Amino acid sequence: MREQIPFIDLQAQYLAFQESIDAAVARVLNSGWYVLGPEVAAFEQAYAASVACAFGVGVGSGTAALQLALLSLDIGPGDEVITVSHTAVATAAAIRLVGARPIFVDVHPSTYTLDPAQLPAALSPRTKAIIPVHLYGQPADMAPIMAFAQSNDLLVIEDCAQAAGARYRGRPVGGIGHLAAHSFYPTKNLGAAGDAGMVTTNDEALAMRMRALRQYGWRERYISAEIGMNTRLDPIQAAILDVKLPHLPRLNAARRNLASRYLRGLAGARARLPIESPASEHVYHLFVIRHPQRDALQNYLRRQGIATLIHYPLPVHLQPAYHDLGFPPGSLPVTEQLAGEILSLPLYPELPPDVVDVVIQTIQNFETSEARTNF
């Protein structure tokens, strides 16, 4: 086995910004202000501006961001929220955590994001909102989604967990819907050194309510105006993210360059390669291929020392905790087919280009009859 090629190397990015990150962490520790405070406020303002929003509300995770967004819109028991099953389970978990019901629709077979053509069949008198997911760094097709929402008096919450810096028709994702949830989990395009998240909006009243809801419903200290949560962005994480934010365009450009290298190198392979919607700027949080022999390919790559992952191996609607929603096998055919074919290849900004070439060559080797015979 050749030397291991990791799926991601989080330490590489820390080392690239080590001096600035260490100084930012020391600044927070020396300030004595360890919950919310000026570091959080500064990053909220900077990140909101980066997605063309007026307000940002920092929270403890991307899941909490989705939950807080739903709560602020008074979505709860008896309500339905249309979303996709081909996503991280957090999208559906947040809906259920507020007592609402996820209604799953299928994804587009080319972009793997919510297929707007599926929305009419999912609509009911109980529908309150849509959560499109900008999956793998590819923006969902927001224009028809927003048009459908407007014509049916629905709210739209963008799930931007995997798409920091992506654009749709020239606009940053996160500033298109009524609200947007962002994750800064360490593996994300803009990653913290732990859990962190944010909700962005241009609605000042919603922003004020979310700031109360994230901290027990306080509008004044120790007095709860309504029942709230405890989910606050840590100032150390905010300071680290503030160091990285100005570099996000360059880091995303590096991802796009590596993705282009994969696309060129695998052009003749049997793998089905990701596409970039003409309306979008894909930021390749993940580089996901489809292959008819996915499991065999993944095992072959593992034997050659190349780590891969599957995002995601079992659609949400088929997971045990979601069986009661009434979406049996076969109900979302595109989603279910994807789950058996998708494979995420190593890709992160610090990944050396020659390592990408090794991955490409190894996939090509697998696809020769000799490699398949010897597997």
Q: What is the pLDDT of residues 29-75, one digit of tens each?
A: 999 999 999 999 999 999 999 999 999 999 999 999 999 999 999 99
Is 248-374 the same fold as 10-106+113-246? no
Burial class (CB in 10 A: 0-12, 13-18, 19+), 307: middle
Rounded Cα gap, residues 6 and 351, in angstroms: 9
Domain extent listing, the chain: 10-106+113-246, 248-374
How much is the pTM?
A: 0.96
* C-beta of residue 266 within 8 angstroms of C-beta of residue 363: yes
Rounded Cα gap, residues 80 and 284, in angstroms: 30
- State which CATH number among 1.20.120.450, 3.40.640.10, 3.40.50.1820, 3.10.129.10 fits the domain covering 10-106+113-246: 3.40.640.10
What's the pLDDT score for residue 1?
A: 46
Residue 370 clears pLDDT 60, i.e. is over it: no
Write down the number of H helices and E strands in the chain: 14, 14
Q: What is the pLDDT of residues 246-289, one digit of tens each?
A: 999 999 999 999 999 999 999 999 999 999 999 999 999 999 99
Tell me, which fold does domain 248-374 have in CATH? Aspartate Aminotransferase, domain 1 (3.90.1150)
What's the pLDDT score for residue 314?
A: 98
Query: What are the tokens at 188?
Result: 């994300």
Rounded Cα gap, residues 310 and 7, in angstroms: 11
Rounded Cα gap, residues 77 and 97, in angstroms: 10
- Taken in order 301, 305, 306, 312, the sign of the CA dihedral is positive
Q: What is the pLDDT of residues 229-239, one digit of tens each?
A: 999 999 999 99
